[in-house]
Amino acid sequence: MADPSHGSYREVLSRPAAWHLLAAAGLARLAMGMVGLALVLSVREATGSFAAAGFAAGAFALTAGVFAAARGRLVDLRGHRRGLRVLGAGYALAGCALLVLVTTVREPAALIAASGMLGAVAPPVSATTRTAWADIVGRGPRLSTALSLDTVTEELLSLVGPVSTGLLVAESSPLTALATAIALEVTAVGLFPGKKPGAASPPSAMAAGHGTPRLQGSHRVLAAVGPVLVPLLAAGVGFGVLDVAVPALALQHGGTVSAGWMLALLPAGSTLGGLAYGRRTWSSPLVKRYRWLCLALVVGFAPLPLIAGDAALWPLLLVAGLAIAPTVVTGYLLVDEATPDGRKTEAATWVSTFNNTGTATGSALCGALIAGVPLAAVFALPAVAVTVGTLGMVLWHRNLPVRAEAASGQAVGPERLSRRR
């Protein structure tokens, strides 16, 4: 059940520093949405090779994922503002090195290595933003609304970023687009708000030594939140499959222009679902809600094979996207509850890492299968992946409701968690 009377978007945005956080995070996410395409086009122009451009983009994504937890841990240790500024300085240096190499050396190996360096120090803005919302609105019902708003903003900027890159390339050059993306990221990190003195969240039950012992290593953080991450990994596989399958379907029907519009339907559906989800305060237990949302993802993905037989059914992609943002938001809430203070940014980076790993895996899997498998079978993979991921979550950790969430999305504080234990 849900109560629409609390946790409105207006209430969230009226909190001190809310607009500041939203603006800084939005600028950083716009920059991250630009950098992928700008990097590919810049390396392609410098080397004349799409293969080198692909390897450069892969190196950026690989190091960004591999070092995500370490960057999150740095932010936890140094604080939001200081941690991000340290990484922002590294990102600026690595970005300058890449720009110099693109314009002078132009050797594929050097550009691939520089791209990997850039990814390794990419500031974990999304993870930091989501933990910062808890400092601004607390961990009551407003947090779900704040995270819904945050996720919807991220979805919209994921569409605006590549478009902005395309406009800059058309008006100037890929190098200009890449330099702009790097400069915007560094600027946004410098604008990121920090905690006011005395504004830190009270220690959680786990951090204080009640219930589950304080987590010491990254592997223990991962073990604590692992069951939540499995469905997000599986959902990422589904997204990656669709990133390749939808353009293939568009080509099969005579053009690529429609592919962009078709792909935009997933984030559009996610935006609508996220806005609706965040408007309400839910009284059902978080874990139960998460499982139902994973099931909703399966139901949304299930009809997609019909698109392969009739491209006129492409609006089904809008329906498939409706549960994405609510599932991600609830996953972040569970991760937040399962992790002690002082490790929350690190834990939040695992959400992005698992989802991005799934996306890369899905794209590779689809690329390997699409030539020899009927397109309808390929479009069935997202539903299969999320089904397997949801079952994996249930089998991995049957006690997840006790560990990660006490009773409901409302006012689940450290005291209630410790009493439940």
Q: What is the pLDDT of residue 260?
A: 62
Helices (H) and strands (E) in the chain, counts: 19, 2
**Look-up: residue for tokens 């790993």?**
357
Q: What is the pLDDT of residue 208?
A: 40
Quick: pLDDT tens for 47-83.
988 788 878 887 888 888 889 888 988 998 888 899 9
Contact 92, 187 (CB under 8 A): no
**Rounded to whole angstroms, how far apart are CA atoms 191 and 248?**
41
Report the greatest alpha carbon distance in the chain: 63
Nearest to 413 by CA among 5, 138, 199: 138
Helix, strand or coil, per DSSP, at residue 78: helix
Q: What is the pLDDT of residue 416?
A: 31
Neighbours of 288 (CB within 10 A): 12
Contact 297, 324 (CB under 8 A): yes
**Rounded to whole angstroms, how far apart are CA atoms 300 and 242?**
13
Low-confidence ranges of the chain (pLDDT < 70): 1-7, 195-221, 254-260, 311, 397-421
CA distances from 146 to 92, 209, 295, 359 (A): 30, 28, 24, 25
Q: What is the pLDDT of residue 102?
A: 96
CA distances from 47 to 35, 118, 169, 177, 258 (A): 18, 19, 17, 17, 30
Q: What is the pLDDT of residue 255?
A: 57
Q: What is the pLDDT of residue 259?
A: 65
In DSSP terms, 281 is beta-bridged to 3
Identify the structural domains of the chain with CATH numbers, from first to last. 14-194 (1.20.1250.20), 220-399 (1.20.1250.20)
Angle (CA) 184 90 347, round 5°: 90
Strand bridging mode 2-3 / 281-282 = antiparallel
**Rounded to whole angstroms, how far apart are CA atoms 165 and 347?**
31
Q: Which two tokens stand for residue 9?
A: 């978007």
Torsion angle (degrees, nearest 10) of CA 130, 135, 138, 139? 50
Burial of residue 255 (number of CB atoms within 10 Å: 0-12, 13-18, 19+): exposed
Nearest to 123 by CA among 78, 180, 174: 78
Contact 341, 221 (CB under 8 A): no
Q: What is the pLDDT of residue 397?
A: 62
Q: How many residues does this entry show for the chain? A: 421
- Could you give phi then psi for residue 3, rounded to 5 degrees? -125, 115
